[in-house]
Structures are given as C-alpha cells and as structure tokens.
Amino acid sequence: MRRSRDTDPTQRGVTLVELIISVLIFSIIAIAGAMFVSLAMNSYLITSESSRSAQAAHNTLNRLSSEFRLITGLGGGSTVTLTPDVSLQYETTEPLLSGVRQIRLAGTDLYLDKGTDSHLLLDNVTDFTLRVDQANTDGDASNQEISAINVTFRINGTGPVFELRVTPREFIRL
C-alpha cells in the first residue's frame, strides 16, 4: 500500500518559524532601503536649498556692485552717509537709476530703497558687514575719499561668506 502525498515526510511545507524569519529578513531589507531613500531625499533638499541661497546671494552681489560703481554724492555733492554694518545712503545720476538710494539691513533682510520704494534684495542675511576703505585719491590731503566699499555676509548663519569689494567711479567722501 502506498502512502498519500499529504503524509509523505519528504514533502514537507513551510513551517511557521521559517515564514516569520523570511518576513523579518524582508522587513530589515525594506527598512534599510527606506532609510537610504530618505537620506538621499534629505541630501537633495539640502543641496537644492544651498544652491538657491547661493544664486540669490550672487544676484544680490551683482546688484550691489552695479549700485556702488554708480555712486555720486548726496545733493550733487561728494558725500555719502554710512552707518557701519547697517546702511549706506547715496545718490546716483545714472538715467535709469537716478535719485537718492539706500542699501540697508533691517533685521535679517537686506533692502535697496529708492525714495519711498523699498525692494528686498536678500532675506535671512547674517554676519553682515558694510565698511568703506578711505584713501587720499584726489591729491587733496585734507579729505579722505572712499577708495572701496566692502560688503560681507552669510545666509542663515551657515555656509560660505559672500564678499564684495567695489571701487566707486567718482570721488566720494563720508
């Protein structure tokens, strides 16, 4: 007499312990994969934000460079008003940009003001410095002219320091 297949000891099925171990191994692999994908997404988001911030800083530096090169003195004179690390008020006679203008830091936002209009140049600015170098550039020893305008800052207090040094085209005094 032959045994039926259901009771043949060589034809055993999967036991409950084997099934649980298989599910456990699969779960560990799935969790490791999810962590890898999560890490990759976080890296992408950080890189994307850093790139956006760097581009915004680059645009701001270009704008400041254009502004500072065209500086003339206030009221048709040869003086500007500087509050170190806070603001610089000046005038320009460039046709498209003429009038009294001011670069100023308000909290963590950097603005360009023209009259009553205020334009946000950059937000989340930290470690901001606005300084001028002075030298006798016109031969008049009684007055020191601005030989360079220096701006440095960071965004969100981290990352690189963005720097700008511009020499005005006109003789300007404080």
Q: pLDDT digits over 119-159, tens only?
A: 999 999 999 999 998 888 767 777 778 889 999 999 988 88
Question: Could you count the other beta carbons within 10 Å of the beta carbon of residue 49?
Answer: 13
Q: What is the pLDDT of residue 70?
A: 81
C-alpha separations of 15 from 23, 65, 100 in Å = 13, 75, 85
Burial track 122-152 (b if 16+ CB lie within 10 A, e otherwise): beebeeeebebeeeeeeeeeeebbbeebebe
Q: What is the pLDDT of residue 7?
A: 60
Q: What is the pLDDT of residue 172?
A: 76
Q: pLDDT digits over 37-51, tens only?
A: 999 999 999 899 889
Q: Which residue has the higher pLDDT, 134 or 11?
A: 134
Q: What is the pLDDT of residue 169?
A: 81
For the chain, percent of residues with pLDDT exceeding 70: 90
- Largest interatomic CA distance in the chain: 125
Mean pLDDT, residues 94-121: 88
The amino acid that residue 116 corresponds to is T
Q: Give the start-to-end residue ranges of the domains of the chain.
A: 55-166
Alpha-carbon distance of 47 to 107, in angstroms, equals 26
The single-letter DSSP state of residue 161 is: E
Sign, CA dihedral 119-123-129-135, equals negative
Q: Which residue has the higher pLDDT, 166 or 11?
A: 166
C-alpha separations of 88 from 45, 81, 97, 116 in Å = 35, 6, 16, 16
Confidence of residue 9 (pLDDT cuts 50, 70, 90): low
Confidence of residue 105 (pLDDT cuts 50, 70, 90): very high
Cut 0.75: pTM above it = no
Q: What is the pLDDT of residue 27?
A: 96
Q: What is the pLDDT of residue 147?
A: 86
